[in-house]
Structure 1
Amino acid sequence: MTSIPIDAVVRSFPVDATTAWELVADLRNHERWIPMTRVSLDGPAAAGATVTAVSGPFARRGFPGLADVMTVDRYDPPVGAEPGVATFTKIGWVLRGHASIIVVPAGPSSSRVFWSEDVYLAGPLPRRLTGALLSPFLGGMVRYALLKARGEARATDRHR
């Protein structure tokens, strides 16, 4: 049984769950949707991998920025009517917390994507405070990324 976070941003995708999964669960694709960000993986997108997303004005040109380092805890693609579930733990020097992406089949050519971020700043300030400060920014980032990903899925769907 998969529980879907109550604070997840949810979007319908006009493609089957497998196609949506391949698009949104592979974090390397996220650099196309998240401005000023580059993403690298230390191997294939799978449980146990480490992902680093670096954001900053010149991050895409290789310059340093804010590093969001995550481990992939779970990476189970959708199978039949079962949803795909990817969970991540943020282990960086600055950003800590968890994220999840769940892709639920909604028919033969549609799916729903649930993306949740529970992130806070490492350090002396209370987790509850820094999480509340980051939440609006991260919510906006997730909404924007899913908007862009959904547009990409629509373009892919038209070419089938």
Structure 2
Amino acid sequence: MSLFRVERAVPLAPEEVWRRLTDWPAHGRQVPLTRTRVLTPGPNGAGVRFTARTGIGRLSFDDPMEVVRWEPPAAGRPGVCRLEKSGRVVRGWAVVEVTSAPGGGSRVVWTEELSLRGLPRAFDPVLGAAGRFLFGRAVDGLLREG
């Protein structure tokens, strides 16, 4: 398992940051060769399941996820969302935290632990660096989108 963290400070309100980071289909627009499909009808929240499919044709894999914790930011309280990854190829979890920043704006902390089936533990540092880069790019893109 590889653990990594992405942190950002942005001038947006916590509620807007939360909305952008939990727009699951938008994640697919930020990650190359990926489409994200929400599988659970209804409002976003605990119990929502979605799948990110990455690749081209037969060289694709699914990354199914479920929201297991959903606490949107509110006055004086940070927002916390926890995802559990249960795929055949990708396993692990992610926690997205959104807090108010002193003086305005928000602070985002995205922490993720993941493993790829068949990848030896010796590659965990490489997987962590790749995860930090890829998810950092995705978070930046989501926070830029309107």
- TM-score class normalised by the smaller sequence: 0.7 to 0.9
Aligned to 2:52: 53
Whole-angstrom distance in 1 between the partners of 2:50 and 2:82:
12
Aligned to 1:103: 98
Give aligned pairs, total.
142
Counterpart selection for 1:40 from 28, 37, 52: 37
Q: Which has the higher strand share?
A: 2
Aligned to 2:81: 86
Verify the 8 A CA contact 1:74 1:87 in the aligned structure 2.
yes
Report the CA distance between 1:108 and its aligned residue. Answer: 7.3
Matched, 1:136 2:133: no
Unaligned 5+ segments in structure 1 are 1-5
Verify the 8 A CA contact 1:91 1:97 in the aligned structure 2.
yes
The higher relative CO (CA closer than 8 Å, separation ≥ 6) is in 2
Change (3 A) 1:19 1:97: same
Matched, 1:19 2:12: no
Matched, 1:8 2:1: no
Q: Which moved more, 1:128-137 or 1:23-32?
A: 128-137
TM-score, normalization by structure 1: 0.78
The residue identity in structure 1 corresponding to 2:51 is: T
What's the % identity of the aligned pairs? 32
Whole-angstrom distance in 2 between the partners of 1:111 and 1:18:
9
Verify the 8 A CA contact 1:16 1:108 in the aligned structure 2.
no
Verify the 8 A CA contact 1:106 1:112 in the aligned structure 2.
yes
SS at match of 1:99: strand
Whole-angstrom distance in 1 between the partners of 2:110 and 2:35:
19
Query: Cα deviation per residue 1:115-150 (whole Å; 9 max; x = unaligned)?
Result: 111001245x66x44544421211111111122123
SS at match of 1:8: strand
Aligned to 2:61: 66
Report the CA distance between 1:66 and its aligned residue. Answer: 1.7
Unaligned 5+ segments in structure 2 are none
Counterpart selection for 1:114 from 109, 112, 117: 109
Verify the 8 A CA contact 2:68 2:81 in the aligned structure 1.
yes
The residue identity in structure 2 corresponding to 1:147 is: D
SS at match of 2:50: strand
